Amino acid sequence: MQIKKNYSIQPYNTFGIAARASRFAAFGDVQTLAALLRDNQHEHKIILGGGSNILFTNDFAGLILKNNLKGIELLRADDQYYYLKVAAGEPWHPFVQYCVDHGYAGLENLSLIPGLAGASPMQNIGAYGVEIKDVFYQLEAMRISDQTLHTFSREDCQFGYRESIFKTELKGKYIILNVTYRLLKKPILHLEYGAIREELEKAGIAVNTTTPTIKEVSEAVIRIRRSKLPDPKQIGNAGSFFKNPSIPIAQFEKLKMEHPTLPGYPLTGIGSNEQIKVAAGWLIEACGWKGYRDGDAGVHARQALVLVNYGHATGAEIYALSERIINSVENKFGIALEREVNII
């Protein structure tokens, strides 16, 4: 296995930050990964997928392990489900397309999310009314400390909104090797996000009288995303930089009196009945940040939740901008924004 030194990681993060790693190694099989972990036990390490949810605020003094594990396998099928195992290094969107093309239903709303399959459980990726936890079956991961293999069920993963145990209690302790999804034979469509219905209608699919196919839903999601989110190939970004915050109902109602257009959604699930999720993009826009630019660090002109690198911004500059945004939202609305992107 080859370990590269003082290696540029600019092509490996969608923010396009020109950082360097003191050492960098790619692995395409589990044995190589185990050897890399064993031989570099005391070195600071991170695992990198597609680099689409990460901000390097500095050069990385340690070893970056780039995941190239490949393979998609249909494990079994029963009356209702297909059990499909995907290796962590498979790119996410082509995997979703593979499922859509084979009639494996459940991931279509998650079309066009960048990154690799192995990172999908990390923050329980979600979009347009679906999160991976809805179709997740289990995953297999290697414990970094002793290279043993462990299986995690859905309950073990402790999924929440943009959360899992791998971002909290077990942060930096495991490397996800593969994920098994339990996908439906008979689709259950999630069209409650208004924009999806609108987009389908625009394409001539009358949602009230016909049932769209999962391919049509996937294509509608792709069109919506292309119209809203910047393509990292054209402008550096990592999607939503912050999470949408949840606030108590009383605070929401008070804010709504002063700001009637503030979007809010009641949360469902255990222990959430007193909370409303509010749109961070709206809060940031209301503080005047939308389209803001300082040097090459900026806030996207069409989506205030997305911070962008116009070319030569450093990770530290993007981070400093996020700090200013957090402070201004806190001062104006009394709401503390939390970063979604992993800060290194």
Task: Return the number of the residue (47 or 247) whose C-beta is nearest ligand FAD.
Answer: 47
For the chain, give percent helix, strand, coil, nearest 5.
30, 30, 40
* Annotated catalytic residue, options 162, 216, 219, 322: 162
Q: Does the protein bind ligand FAD through residue 53 (CB under 6 A)?
A: yes
- Does residue 288 interact with ligand EPU by CB under 6 A? no
Residue 115 touches which member of ligand FAD, ligand EPU, none, C-beta under 5-8 Å by kind: ligand FAD
Give the whole-angstrom CA distance, residue 162 versus residue 191. 21
In the list 25, 96, 113, 337, the residue contacting ligand FAD (rule: CB under 6 A) is 113
The answer to whether 22 touches 61, Cβ cutoff 8 Å, is yes
Number of Cβ within 10 Å of residue 141's Cβ equals 24
Binding mask 226-265 for ligand EPU (x = CB under 6 A): --x----------xx--xx------------------x--
Q: Which is nearer to ligand FAD, 84 or 132 (CB)?
A: 132
Q: Which residue has the tokens 């200013």?
A: 324
**Shortest distance, CB of residue 128 to ligand EPU, whole angstroms?**
5
CA distance 211 to 213: 7
What is the identity of the amino acid at 58? Answer: N
Count of positions on this chain that bind ligand EPU (CB under 6 A): 17
Of 195, 305, 188, 158, the C-alpha closest to 240 is 305
Which residue number, 226 or 228, has a Cβ lying nearer to ligand EPU?
A: 228
Q: Catalytic residue at 324? A: no
* CB closer to ligand FAD out of 36 and 176: 176
163 binds ligand EPU (CB under 6 A): no
Concerning whether 23 is annotated as a catalytic residue, the answer is: no
Distances (CA, A) of 43 to 24, 55, 98, 223: 12, 20, 37, 43
State the binding partner of 278 from ligand FAD, ligand EPU, none, CB within 5 to 8 A by kind.
none
Q: Which residues contact 331 (CB under 8 A, 6 or more apart)?
A: none
CA distance 68 to 124: 21
HSE toward the beta carbon, residue 343, CA cutoff 13 A: 15
Active site residue 192: no
Nearer to ligand EPU, 26 or 196 (CB): 196
Give, as ranges, the residues between 69 and 88 that touch ligand FAD (CB under 6 A): 88
Task: Tell me the sheet residues that pair with 76.
Answer: 83
> Which 83-112 positions form the footprint of ligand FAD (CB under 6 A)?
88
The 3-state DSSP class for residue 313 equals coil
Contacted by 17, from ligand EPU, ligand FAD, none: CB < 5 to 8 Å by type: none
Position 330: which residue type?
Answer: E
Which parts of 115-144 interact with ligand EPU (CB under 6 A)? 127-128
The runs of H, that is alpha helices, within 178-314 are 194-202, 214-228, 249-258, 280-286
Tokens of 47: 């695992």
Cβ distance to ligand FAD smaller for residue 132 or 278: 132
**DSSP-assigned letter for residue 310:** -
Which of the residues 228 through 247 are near ligand FAD (CB under 6 A)?
A: 229, 232, 237-239
Active-site residue set: 162, 240, 340
The footprint of ligand FAD (CB under 6 A) covers 14, 46-54, 67, 88, 113-116, 118-120, 122-123, 125-127, 175-176, 229, 232, 237-239, 342
The footprint of ligand EPU (CB under 6 A) covers 127-128, 228, 239-240, 243-244, 263, 279, 281-282, 285, 290, 303-305, 340
